Amino acid sequence: MYLNVAEIESAITSLHGAYPGATELLTPPHPTHEGRTTSLLRVGTRPADETDGILLLGGVHAREWVPPDALISLAADLLEAHDRGTGLGYGSSSFTAAEVARVVEGLSLYVFPCVNPDGRAFSQAASPMWRKNRRPAPAGHTGPTCAGVDLNRNFDFLWEFTKKFAPDSKVRTSADPCDPETYRGPGVESEPETRNVVWALKHPPRIRWMVDVHSSGPVILHSWGSDQNQTTTPGDNFRNPALDGVRGRKDDGIGEFIPEQDLKIAVGLAERMSDAVRAVRGVEYAAEAAYGLYPTSGASDDYAYSRHFTDPAATKVLGFTIECGTAFQPPFGEAEEVIREVSAGLLALAVEAPHT
């Protein structure tokens, strides 16, 4: 059975209770519209300021039921294996005891499994296909889809899409509160859940990688999602107002700049995750730039990676999105297989990332 919001929370506190020396309980500061707070579990035996961090997000989209369960399961597997001094295996994807120890003792994994608890509760109790959070509908908007914001369009990255993107770019976001899928919200970072993710990127001292786990795909995405990548024209980037109104078109000779070395590392890590996933039971999660799916604005992965370009105090965070499995709510037996795929992929990232 899929975990409900209360069970996710108790799973986090139980893991902290069982492994106090290898975990830390953190509480993101912004309660949701319905007053919920959810915890974030740091897995790592060393102090946070001595270790690089990986931020793992789940449950941003309410109806995607598998990712929160996957993150809880991964944290539990990792902590148990570390405690017993054993390795971990998912199908043919295996990790040695030494690799498990290096992850738990050499990194901090910030596991934030349920970013959008109001949405998950609503999806599980009332409206299975609900995607957004539960911001109350604005005055004068009474339809059943007029509540809520798509949190993955609410981040501070090219959020003002009508100005920033070409009208024919097909950027997938919306300014209409009643859009059931991709309403970007009344303001940039207007949502408490978005601000909790921003907090989770800023507050721990050394986050260097972030994976936002969604469904479904299967696919593994790296930056950018706003336009095609290019490595040759540094001035063609999200900060350049000269690209406003023309951004996001395919094959128009204008792309979003990514330094060649960053692209190489991001592709390498995405492919490493893809390899580990495939070894579980043969399912292919293609590794590709997020723009290949469709152009996006205000998404978490691009926001995470964009921060160091605009804020000299921010660390560089390579952002990824895993779209796991092929359904939002598969029968739980299939969900367990997808959970193993996600676990293998994320563990492969944790093993490989410190070497990049």
Interface with Zn ion by CB under 5 A: which residues? 61, 214
Q: In whole angstroms, give the CA distance from residue 88 to residue 280.
A: 12
Q: How far is the CB of 254 from Zn ion (least distance, A)?
A: 27
Q: Is the peptide bond before 216 cis (omega within 30 degrees of 0)?
A: yes
Q: How far is the CB of 64 from Zn ion (least distance, A)?
A: 5
> Closer CB to Zn ion, residue 153 or residue 249?
153
- Helix, strand, coil % in the chain, rounded to nearest 5: 40, 15, 45
> Closer CB to Zn ion, residue 153 or residue 214?
214
Helix (H, G, I), strand (E, B) or coil at 238: coil
> Closer CB to Zn ion, residue 52 or residue 323?
323
> Closer CB to Zn ion, residue 5 or residue 15?
5
State which H helix or E strand residue 339 sits in.
helix 332-352
> Closer CB to Zn ion, residue 42 or residue 172?
172
Q: How far is the CB of 134 from Zn ion (least distance, A)?
A: 16
Q: Is the peptide bond before 224 cis (omega within 30 degrees of 0)?
A: yes
Question: What's the token pair of residue 331?
Answer: 């029968």
Q: How far is the CB of 60 from Zn ion (least distance, A)?
A: 6
Q: How far is the CB of 280 from Zn ion (least distance, A)?
A: 21
Tell me the backbone φ, ψ of residue 318, rounded to 5 degrees: -80, 125
Find the angle CA(306)-CA(168)-CA(236) to the nearest 5 degrees.
35
